[in-house]
Amino acid sequence: MKKNKEFYTFRGYQMMKQNKKLLTASMEDYLEMIYRTCLKEGYERTNHLARKLNVQASSASKIVQKLAELGLINYEKYGIIQLTEKGKSIGEFLLKRHKTIETFLNKIGVKEMAFKDTEMIEHHISPETYESIELLNKFLDQNPQIIEKFHDFKKKTVKK
């Protein structure tokens, strides 16, 4: 039987993606939060990071150590966390990706689940799909009548 080289299970795609990725989804969340905080404060602390991400301080410490080993942050035990240039660059991308997806979901009328869905989507989206969503957001910003037509269509079509 000939193998189909273009179709995999969801887990298969996850495994392929993970083999090519530097960071796990969890590590991305940590780095994005560190980046958000460093934009405002200039640094982060492990216990504050744990609180923001609703995890134990010991869990946060483990991920912070891994991010430091990857050269994304500078960190000393019980000290402050600061981003390296590489960490800033990746953190900036992660935050932009998050905002792009959340903006798209808001534009199409996702309300209650927009934040949760953004968190689920952002770690599993391909670069091509992400770039298309980013382009579509720009297109919709420049053509608000199209999104209005979509919302009218949605009101007529979706029964609550």
For the segment 80-125, what is each residue's pLDDT rounded down to a tens digit? 999 999 999 999 999 999 999 999 999 999 999 999 999 999 999 9
Same domain? For 98 and 80 the reply is no
- β-pair partners for 82: 74
In a domain, 33, yes or no: yes
Q: Residue 77 has what pLDDT? A: 81
Conformation bin of residue 109: beta by default, left when phi > 0, alpha when psi is -120 to 50: left
Asked if residue 35 lies in contact with residue 92, where contact means CB atoms within 8 angstroms, the answer is yes
State how many domains the chain has.
2
In a domain, 6, yes or no: no
How far CA 149 is from CA of 22, 114, 134, 138, in Å, comes to: 41, 21, 20, 17
Q: Residue 5 has what pLDDT? A: 53
Structure tokens at 101: 């997806």
Q: Calculate mean pLDDT across residues 25-34.
A: 96
Same domain? For 48 and 101 the reply is no
Same domain? For 83 and 99 the reply is no
Range of the domain at 73: 19-89
Report the C-alpha gap between 17 and 36 in whole angstroms.
25
What is the DSSP-derived secondary structure letter of residue 55? -
Whole-prediction pTM: 0.83
In a domain, 13, yes or no: no
